[in-house]
A and B are shown apart, each in its own frame.
Chain A
Amino acid sequence: MIQAEKKKRVIDIKNLDMKLKIENDFYNVINEVSLYVEEGEMVALVGESGCGKSMTAKAAIGLQPENSVLTGRIETDNENLLEYSEKEWEKRRGKETAMIFQEPMTALNPLIHIGKQIAENARTHGADKNEAKQRALEMMKMVGLPDVERLYRNFPCQLSGGMRQRAMIAMALINNPELLIADEPTTALDVTIQAQIMELLKEMNEKTGTAVLLISHDLGVVRNMCSRLYVMYAGHIVESGSIDEVFENPMHPYTRGLILSVPDVTKREQELVSIPGTVPSLAERKQEGCPFYDRCERRLEVCQKKACEMQDVNGHMIACHLYTGTQKEV
């Protein structure tokens, strides 16, 4: 426990708020999000589509939309990244913080050789041409790309989706960053390839020590990969804790719903439950009360008026009135 506290947080998001300005109105996209990743760790951020996972990720690498306003803090190395200038961000991106995206088919420039695009990340951060190429080739080998010398001179259109995502991972990790943000890196791939890419991410995490913030809506995948988990709903973190703790003892009705909606291969007769309703759009979101109130099966009177503060139940963080004042057991 004491050792764990000494670990450096490669990103520490504190009370982050993001508002989007759309036609003179401001909409809350992210509310009071707090989230950290320690060095070498694999952390998951899960939630249904539209919860604000990608927005959180974009904010964490300084690529939020131009019509957004951020408040709060994003800390690393005792600095508040929200105060970064574009120049400072350019130095950080790809070096300390890297990112890979959902769509490997379009994430690469169609007119530039794969290898050159990977090497570009090293070039941008100071490597000379030869060194960048050598490192790119090394990384390509490391992520399991075959025949790297030839592949270096291939164009993205000559690679399959899985290979492109491998190339993206090579590109992201070439400068040995502290943190890799992977925003649904396998959603666009075939099921068989998905597992391979996830396996690769885990392997790279172990080999290079790069911490990973894995964004996903697939709880099954997350369970095998990560050590901690954040559950996001409509711009709020509603629950977080260690993977084992949260999966064995999910507390928030939303988390329970998410877990119940994952098909479990061991229970054949299991009935799949899905949470009724959908994530409210930005315009539909209420200003007061619990964000999950409308879809919650166990809502209380108090939930309509007042959202629950994040509370610590033995290291398991939870924002739900059902557990106010209670200890671990329900």
Chain B
Amino acid sequence: MRYYARRILGFIVTIFLVSVFTFAIFQILPGDPATVILGVDADPAQLEALRASMGMDKPMVERYLDWVAGLFQGDMGTSYKYQQPVAQLIQESFKVTASLAFVSIILTVLIGLPVGIWLAKNSRKPVATPVSMLSQISLSIPAFCMSIFLIYIFCVKLQILPSFGYTPLNKGVGKWLKNLILPSMAIALGSSAALIRYIYTSINAQMKEDYIKTAKSKGVSMTNILNKHVLRNSLIPVITILGMLVSDILGGSIIIENVFSFPGIGKLLSVSISSRDFPLIQGLVVYMAGIVVLCNFLVDMLYSVIDPRIRLK
């Protein structure tokens, strides 16, 4: 129980620090939002009025508290560029990115888990070498190169999948998937290669543990040792990797969404940066940081479910 209390406290503190940090960054950043909106030639009186309406004339701490209070009510301010509430913009884009991340992670696990286990089981056989090399190669190819490669094969040559655009889930799962499959593949090929490496090393490390000797001394067959003893133990470090993959995929989606013209968080972020849309950037950063922290928190919780040593401490 103490474990959960500590984790939850840690979660809250992290979120708080992230919000302070994000807020501070945009205070330090040079450039005055009012000037950005109205242009350099704007009338000083107009600038002053705009600043006041944005609350820029208040002291920093007060502005931070206002902002945080807003966050709690789901109000992240208004985007300069879109003239829409930031929260609403993020919410819409999030559906797209979440879909992308979801399918990517599913694909990553679907490819990485069996191949990693297979590789660990067959590492001595000659067939393991090409598989291991292939995973090494796909690990070293950046996702956007992979996207172009996939677009070339599936859109240009085979012409079976669309090369851009996004269809919302409510228009049908098939259509939704059809648009998602290529960008997800581009992300998943690299990340599943990483997953394969981790599972492989993790299983090999577990095989050296003492409890394997015990299982062998009971006459448990190699297959059963792997399935009943090793797999669960080697998944513990792998869960960490999955948690980290979520942040990787969020970061990677900025590029991938641009390649495939996806109206997701990544796209929104790149637009907001190029247009210096501070409320939007700020909102996005907090949002993404929050998701990463939340994922790590969930990973910690998952740990405790799997590992009694943590749960019972």
Contact = CB atoms under 8 A, between A and B. Distances in A.
Given A103-B210, A106-B210, A107-B210, A93 B219 contact: yes
Interface in B202-219: 209-211, 213-219
Contacts of A47: none
B219 A90 contact: yes
Contacts of A168: 214
Interface string A82-118: 0000100111111100110101001111111000010
A171 B307 CA distance: 22
A94 B307 CA distance: 27
Contact of A106 (B209, B217, B219): B209
Contact of B312 (A89, A107, A158): A158
A239 interface: no
A135 to B, nearest CB: 13
A157 B215 contact: no
Q: How large is the interface on A (under 10, 10 to 19, 20 to 34, 35 or more residues)?
A: 20 to 34
B219 A91 contact: yes
Interface in B168-212: 209-211
A124 B308 contact: no
B306 interface: yes
A107 B217 CA distance: 11
B229 A89 contact: no
Nearest to B206: A109
Contacts of A111: 232-233, 306-308
Interface of B: 209-211, 213-222, 224, 228-229, 232-233, 306-309, 312
B219 A92 contact: yes
B217 A93 contact: yes
A118 B213 CA distance: 14
B221 A90 contact: yes
B309 A110 contact: yes
The 4 closest A-B pairs by CB, nearest first: A94-B218, A93-B219, A155-B308, A106-B210
Contact of B218 (A112, A120, A157): A120
A112 B309 contact: no
Contact of A108 (B211, B216, B220): B211
A121 interface: yes
A125 interface: yes
A109 B217 contact: no
Interface of A: 61, 63, 86, 89-95, 98-99, 101, 103, 106-112, 117, 120-121, 124-125, 155, 157-158, 168, 171-172
Contact of A110 (B211, B213, B224): B211
B219 A95 contact: yes
B213 A101 contact: yes
Contacts of A110: 211, 233, 307-309
A66 to B, nearest CB: 10
Given A94-B218, A110-B309, A63 B213 contact: yes
Contact of A112 (B217, B219, B224, B229): B229
Nearest to A110: B309
19 contacts: A63-B216, A90-B219, A94-B220, A99-B217, A101-B213, A101-B217, A106-B209, A107-B210, A109-B211, A109-B215, A110-B309, A111-B306, A111-B308, A121-B218, A124-B220, A125-B219, A157-B308, A171-B214, A171-B218
A61 B217 contact: yes
Contacts of B217: 61, 63, 93-94, 98-99, 101, 172
Contacts of A107: 210-211, 213-214
A120 B209 CA distance: 18
A110 B308 CA distance: 8
B204 to A, nearest CB: 14
B308 A106 contact: no
Contacts of A95: 219
A120 B220 contact: yes
A135 B55 CA distance: 75
A112 B233 CA distance: 10
A157 B217 CA distance: 21
